[in-house]
Amino acid sequence: MTDKNFMVDNSTRTDLFSPIKLGEIELANRIVMAPLTRGRMNEEGVPNDLNITYYIQRASAGLIISEATNISAQGRGYAKTPGIWTEDQIAGWKKITDAVHSASGKIVMQLWHVGRCSHVDLQPNGEAPVAPSAIKADGNSYTNNGIVEVSMPRALKIDEIPNIVEQYRHAAECAKRAGFDGVEIHSANNYLLEQFLRDSTNHRTDQYGGSIANRARLILEVVEAVTNVWGDGRVGIRLSPITTEVGNTPLDSNVMETYGYLIQQLNKFKLAYLHFVEGITGKSRSVPEGVDLNALRSLFDGAYIGNNNYDLEIAISRRAEGKVDAVAFGRPFISNPDLVDRLRYGIELAHASIETHYGNGEKGYIDWPKANSFHIESSCSKS
């Protein structure tokens, strides 16, 4: 830690710390907390007091996107993750949204169905996870027995697909009752919706496979169902056109055409925002030849949130170039509950080791100090 890092007021050189409206959601600043699964829920997926503390500590983010939240028992791919389909889950989340709102924060819920990225132990009646096609992911899941290889999925029958849309609609309604400011449809990181979109994971020959329009169909049906619940400007969507996470998933054979088509279709709905993971999630910002993420982003009519391996300098410069409306930070929010102030005033950031990411109760979860106490401690230790 060096003293020169302290108290540089970055507000004078960027508007990242100024308010913005994403659709109908008013944010106090353009720093967004990215969705972060933390594995601190119970078996029933019901939020508890620890989770309330965690979210309220981070309420100075312009917007909190909740950790990915299972829309149904079938949608679940990891133990200790939250849900949003039962009354108890709604009541648990309501305490979190109330707490965040009482601290003048805003919070949307990320709606999640993992598709093939699950294990039979997590599925109702020990059944196989569902996917567009019976293609196994090359990755791990987490059950109460620890880290395990994902199970072989089965292809959804065409007459089961309306029920998938219904799961999203029901979850969207539950999220509304839980007091969220909106929802984010998780169509990233190669979970169910992106599995349908990519030709690497979708080998169907019915109206949900083959052409780009067919592969995008489920996402668009879900967006329609969820926007019918929430209305204009309260639904965002997260996409990750070039990530291979999770499940070591190959990219689509034509990223620009496939995602370009989808994004243009999304313009029919008045979404709050489009949110991209720009690169390989948590790993790299490099872009393969032939892909232009800025060009894809510019097909979208509404607000845009950029994410992935940002630091303050990248955020300031991409904002200054008009490439992003807001920036989502993931890992920095784990260890810096007051990330907005730290970025604004040039205060050094704390770094969380990977061991703190999932599980472990309050340790590495709610025990990261805010800058004030951090400063006091550090000045005391110097004297």
- Minimum gap (Å) between residue 54 Cβ and ligand FMN: 12
* Residues contacting residue 354 through CB under 8 Å, at least 6 positions apart: none
- Minimum gap (Å) between residue 34 Cβ and ligand FMN: 4
Helix (H, G, I), strand (E, B) or coil at 89: helix
* Residues contacting residue 265 through CB under 8 Å, at least 6 positions apart: 216, 220
Q: Using alpha carbons, list the distances in angstroms from residue 53 to 59, 76, 95, 276, 331.
A: 10, 24, 10, 28, 18
Q: Which of 78, 191, 273, 358 is catalytic?
A: 191
- Minimum gap (Å) between residue 382 Cβ and ligand FMN: 31
Kind and range of the H or E run holding 276: strand 273-277
- Minimum gap (Å) between residue 374 Cβ and ligand FMN: 20
Nearest Cα to Cα of residue 305 among 322, 327, 284, 321:
327
User: Tokens in use for 21?
Assistant: 């409206």
Select 294 or 356, whichever has its Cβ closest to ligand FMN.
356
Select 270 or 331, whichever has its Cβ closest to ligand FMN.
331
Select 141 or 281, whichever has its Cβ closest to ligand FMN.
281
Select 299 or 349, whichever has its Cβ closest to ligand FMN.
349
Note whether 282 and 309 are within 8 A (CB). Answer: yes
Binding residues (CB under 6 A) for ligand FMN: these are: 34-37, 67-68, 110, 186, 188-189, 238, 277, 281-282, 307-310, 329-332, 357
User: Tokens in use for 201?
Assistant: 């994971």
Select 56 or 315, whichever has its Cβ closest to ligand FMN.
315
Cis peptide leading into residue 246 (ω within 30°): yes
Residue 51 and residue 48: Cα distance in Å, rounded? 5
Catalytic annotation on 191?
yes
List residues with catalytic annotation: 191
